[in-house]
Structure 1
């Protein structure tokens, strides 16, 4: 397995070097690079599966780095996340090969290198056994993210998106740096295993909080989530899936690893994580529900999914803080099931969405009406991904959200009132989020896949692209059918015998605790088609051929006669009730204005405008940016000063330093 892992990294290095040296000089060179990337991802997937099965491996780096023992080690937890991440990276890479083969799609070098750098960094983060190796790979991933977000720098907003992605990536890196240094100072070693021996105290609690916030920043927790809609939407084509579906898992891996190493967290940290998770989920789905740009809808839903996953993690922290192993197991199981569903569905949505966008040349929802029928493979995959994130049966999203809600219902087992209240509030937030997620993705499917739009020529997804979409779709649907096997794999990765209590019987699940509730996702795959067939046969038997007749009538527009307008909802109109209901979350601003007709001909008419506000950006970051810009303007003036002034500044600084040193001495 060591050779397979090294082969995967070596193949990614070949892809990066080839892209930098040759670039897109030949039309087939870019697709070939992504096909090699698919092979590399498959190698890393197999190596991860072997580690998950117990065949762990270690690659020593001693002597190469110069600061103590260091290695790349794949244990069961690393293997679990390697399987999740590269199980999605393999089909997405196939789709990238088809996408890049289209004429004019990739016009300059660097994109393939950033793709390979991203995947390589993910593999190293998930196997790093040394704090500085982890930090190095983390910072490399930040650079790769900014390169992907800012690659199409000739398009509006792309350079700014790359810069914002880089800034928030550096923030997460700084948080991790301080957290790891605190632990390394207490443990006397940079080895991650040594951190488990750090005694309780203020230093350990501070390091725990810094690590949790640093890892969660990469996943998009409030208030560090503002980079995700910009960064994801700015990346080219299916590379959004590499960022949002594959690479984002390093943040969740870091959270799971932190809990495994440090164990019992401070009580306040468990409560804070649950509160931030609830805010993240609600704010993410609220903004996703009202966006009119396809890629930004999917990007904002990533924030929502982060909130759901962190809710499961918060439940586990509460269990660890209150010495309830069952609650730890049910929280981590719920969070990991949500990670699997999110990885498959988000990769599928961004991949299929890129195919639809490439066929139409736009990502505006109103202009994409019915576009899914022009690219049937992408359209079908888009619908399956949307149903999964909406939590509809029999998809993997339904299973993960059911398990998460069941985990939150275990609050009565916690005998601490503050935790009970926080868990209750989190449960209400998750229920609200799940409801609006259904509305959000029904809108997407209704407009993009089922909507009636202008006819156009069918576009070809390409054979590798079709294969990638088919595998991701199978993941969204098939994983639900074999959820008991998935639970066994997750329990092995978590090294938690308690988690196996989620299996009431070989094909029936329960939320770890017995005699609470049960569900069999596998039997749903039998019962639901059987019920559909029975209802169809009964309808045909009772109504005969009348069941298949279609009655066509004029579309209803309003209760008032003579109203003119489109026969279908627009993307804005469909989301307007949500915009009103969630006005306190979205800070909805509405304006009714009297407009004059062009040229002053005819009577004036009314115009209606409604807009939403990103509260974190509006009330947290913009006030912080103003003093920074003031300092920058002052610094610009200093750049054009005189030499004697600069010498005076240096003299003043030297005297100040000497004075401070003398006072301290």
Structure 2
């Protein structure tokens, strides 16, 4: 198995070299196909690690780091995440290859893509603290390079890199806090960390590090801009592949450190549920397709971390069944998110390339011209909407069922936190349906746009490689839902380092029926849904046709009704802006919705592209404007509605001016004189010595 691990990493290196070497003559798709091949090797290693309990494939690296022996070790937990991450990465590589063949990007993006894949592989298998940190910084660097590629404005890249460095600093500080007490640079050595302040600090710092990367509130503001700024065809590797490294970090922290401090578990549970709600609230009203998908990534991170926090509560209360229920729900959510998000971004990349924009108002009906991209977009949207019989429905059912177990525990803080989180997740599930119905109804199933500009021949629909990737993801996601009992057995094997397999096996009532680990509470058979739902649908259609004597099949065309008043003109169907307007009004207190009427043709404030990202600048979040023609005046008004990113405006913006002042003061110290710099170093040294003397 070590040879297969080495082969996967070497294929990533080859992909990078093919992309950056001068005089490249290989087709544009080759580096991405090499990355897909390397991902296939690592996914196979993960499957072997899961299928052979007690056998952990490893690739020894010796003492090359200088901090003890290091290796890539694929135990059951690493195997689960390697199988999930790199099975999706194979499909993401194929869709990227199709995108590259059509778009012909310059040198660089394929190498950055390979860097991210290799770094994720090392993070999910490293057994040494510094190897883990170096790979984590590799992910941050890859994110920065991808978001900066081809952009003159580096605001999104700077924000992505800045939050990535915060994550890296928290990770390094947390791991060093633990290793300073254990004296061992191996990750496994953290399990020997005694209970106390150092263990609690390590827990908190590591959760912060992984929360930044996954996009948990209040450190989620970089994620929508970072994803949207990356090359369209490479967003799947960021949202569907690389983010899994953050979830792996959370799972591994739990496996090493055991139950967290009670305050941390409750805080994480509430923040995760709030993150899910805020994420879907903003996704529901976004005006650009890529930002809808990116904001929904925040929602999915909240859902996953909610299940994880339920498992932490189970560990604190001594309930292995609640721990298993939470981890199973979170892992199912991770699988559904990885598959669906890759499908969504892959389909959106093709649509954006064909239409020349991601504006939903201009994408209406566009997907009809690109059936493969439309199919991928629809499959991903239906999955994240949580509709049966998809994997998204199964994972949300497990999550809600695990949150309903609060009545079993008498500890008031835990029961209250579970109840509040359950209410927020239920609201999130409802608005998720509204959000993705808009995408499917307007973009995929919307009426054709017959304007001349839209009748031009479209580009290749994802290409052969991209179609293979979309088909692999769509069939894989549907098979995961239909074979949920088999999927639960695989998850149970991967979670063995956290909960005993016999406990997680409680999720299986029978070979085809599942339950939320707690026997007798509820049950579901996703496999039978695949049989019953088509039969019921066919039966309803037969009865409808028979009862109407064929009339249901006849089409009657009449002019659309607009108003009882004469002279009212405009669209005779919903627009994406109009469909999202009720959500803006209902969630006005959360989104800080602002509406106004402006003269026709006058660009409302902030109606252009979103401003450059950064923790200090508020994004007014304009969601578009819909024209409303008024018969009373005979004129035309534009109705504009803006929403506000409350976390950014009210949490980060107040620190913007003080930060600017601090930076300006720091710049004055950069005088370019060597004697001044030596003086600064002397002052810092004297201060450090004085501090050490005072503490001793």
Whether the TM-score (by the shorter chain) exceeds 0.5 is: yes
The change in CA–CA distance for 1:263 and 1:539 in structure 2 (over 3 A counts) is same
**Residue 309 (structure 2) aligns with:** 314
Alignment CA distance shift 1:153-1:413 (3 Å): same
Contact 2:374 2:444 in 1 (8 A): yes
Offset of residue 645 of structure 1:
7.3
Counterpart contact for 1:288–1:300, Cα < 8 Å: yes
Which has the higher mean CA deviation after the structures are superposed, 74-83 or 230-239? 230-239
Residue of structure 1 equivalent to 2:481? 480
Among 622, 628, 640, the alignment partner of 2:653 is: 622
SS of 2:570's equivalent? Answer: coil
CA distance in 2, matches of 1:486, 1:236: 33
1:328 paired to 2:328: no
Distance 2:592 2:300 in 1: 22
CA contact (8 A) 1:597 1:603 kept: no
In 2, distance between residues paired with 1:367 and 1:264? 50
Equivalent position of 1:412 in the other structure: 407
Count of matched residue positions in the alignment of Structure 1 and Structure 2: 655
In the alignment, which residue of structure 1 is the partner of 2:359? 364
1:143 corresponds, among 127, 141, 144, to 141
1:604/1:405 CA distance change after superposition, 3 Å: same
Q: Deviations over 1:570-621 (max 9, x none)?
A: 22211111011111111112234577999xxx87765433211111111122
Report SS of the residue matched to 1:72: strand
Q: Go from structure 1 to structure 2 and tell me whether the alpha carbon gap of 1:16 and 1:553 turns closer, same or farther (over 3 Å shift).
A: same
Equivalent of residue 552 in structure 2, options 547, 566, 576: 547
Equivalent residues of 2:489, 2:505 under 8 A apart: yes
Hey, what does 2:89 align to over in structure 1? 89
| Structure 1 position 535, deviation (Å) | 1.2
1:274 to 2:269 alignment: yes
Is the Cα–Cα contact under 8 Å of residues 597 and 605 in structure 1 kept in the other structure?
no
CA offsets, 1:88-109, max 9 Å, x none? 110111111111112x531x21
| Stretches of structure 1 lacking an aligned partner (at least 5 in a row) | none
- Per the alignment, in what secondary structure is the counterpart of residue 509 of structure 2? strand
* Cα deviation, residue 60, structure 1: 1.8
Question: In 2, distance between residues paired with 1:235 and 1:547?
Answer: 47
Aligned to 2:71: 71
SS in 2 for 1:590: strand
Tell me the residue number matched to 2:542: 537
Cα gap change, 1:269 to 1:655, in 2 (>3 Å): closer
Q: Residue 572 of structure 1 aligns with which residue?
A: 577
Asked if the contact 1:115–1:144 (Cα under 8 Å) also holds between the matched residues in 2, the reply is yes
Partner deviation per Cα, 1:359-417 (whole Å, 9 max, x = no partner): 22111101111111111111011111100000001110000001111111111112211
Shift of 1:463: 1.1
CA pair 656-100 structure 1, distance change in 2 beyond 3 A: closer
Cα offset, 1:472, TM superposition: 0.8
2:666 to 635, 660, 663: 635
CA distance in 2, matches of 1:643, 1:72: 44
Q: Distance in 2 between matches of 1:236 and 1:379?
A: 19
Which position in structure 1 is the counterpart of 2:606?
Answer: none
Q: Which residue matches 2:625?
A: none
Name the SS of the counterpart of 1:609 in structure 2. strand
Aligned with 1:71: secondary structure? strand
Structure 2 match to 1:609: 640
Equivalence for 1:57 = 57
Cα 1:612/1:63, change in 2 over 3 Å = same
Match of 1:439 among 434, 437, 456: 434
TM-score by length of 1: 0.94
Which residue does the alignment assign to 1:470?
A: 471
Q: Which residue, 196, 206, 210 being the options, matches 1:215?
A: 210
Give 1:127's aligned residue. 125
Q: Is the 8 A contact 2:100 2:233 kept in 1?
A: no
Q: CA offset at residue 631 of structure 1?
A: 2.0
Gaps of 5+ in 2: 604-632
400 and 199 in structure 1: CA distance in 2 versus 1, 3 angstrom threshold: same
Change (3 A) 1:652 1:219: closer
Confirm or deny: 8 A CA contact 1:374 1:459 kept in the other structure: no
Deviation at 1:22, TM superposition (A): 3.2
Asked if the contact 1:591/1:609 (under 8 Å) is kept, the reply is yes
Any conservation in 2 of the 1:597–1:604 contact (CA below 8 Å)? Answer: no
User: 1:162 corresponds to which residue?
Assistant: 157
1:64 alignment partner, SS class: coil
Change (3 A) 1:517 1:634: same
Q: Secondary structure at the match of 1:555?
A: coil
Question: Would you say the 8 A contact 2:47–2:80 is kept in 1?
Answer: yes
SS at match of 2:127: coil
Asked if the contact 2:174/2:203 (under 8 Å) is kept, the reply is yes
| Distance across 2 between alignment mates of 1:518 and 1:654 | 65
- 2:199 corresponds in structure 1 to 204
Q: Is the 8 A contact 1:49 1:79 kept in 2?
A: yes
Higher mean Cα deviation, 518-527 or 255-264? 255-264
Matched, 1:301 2:299: no
Q: Do the aligned partners of residues 197 and 636 (structure 1) sit closer, same or farther apart at CA in structure 2, a change above 3 Å counting?
A: closer
Q: Map Cα deviations across residues 158-181 of structure 1 (whole Å, 9 max, x no partner).
A: x11111111111111111111111
Whole-angstrom distance in 2 between the partners of 1:397 and 1:114: 30
Of 238, 256, 260, 1:261 maps to 256
Q: 1:635 offset after TM fit, Å?
A: 3.4
Moved more, 395-404 or 559-568: 559-568
| Alignment counterpart, residue 189 of structure 1, candidates 184, 193, 202 | 184
- Gap change, CA 1:404 and 1:609, over 3 Å in 2: same
Q: Which structure 2 residues correspond to residues 443-462 of structure 1 after superposition, within 5 A? A: 443-452=438-447, 453-454=449-450, 455-456=454-455, 457-460=457-460, 461-462=462-463
Contact 1:22 1:109 in 2 (8 A): no
Alpha-carbon distance in structure 1 between the residues aligned to 2:331 and 2:677: 57
Measure how far apart 1:257 and its partner are: 0.7
Post-superposition offset of 1:478: 1.5
Q: Following TM superposition, by how much is the alpha carbon of 1:544 offset from its aligned partner in structure 2, in angstroms?
A: 2.7
Alpha-carbon separation, structure 1, partners of 2:385 and 2:458: 28
The residue aligned with 1:3 is 3
Residues 1:288 and 2:286 aligned together? no
Q: What TM-score do the two structures reach when normalised by structure 2?
A: 0.90
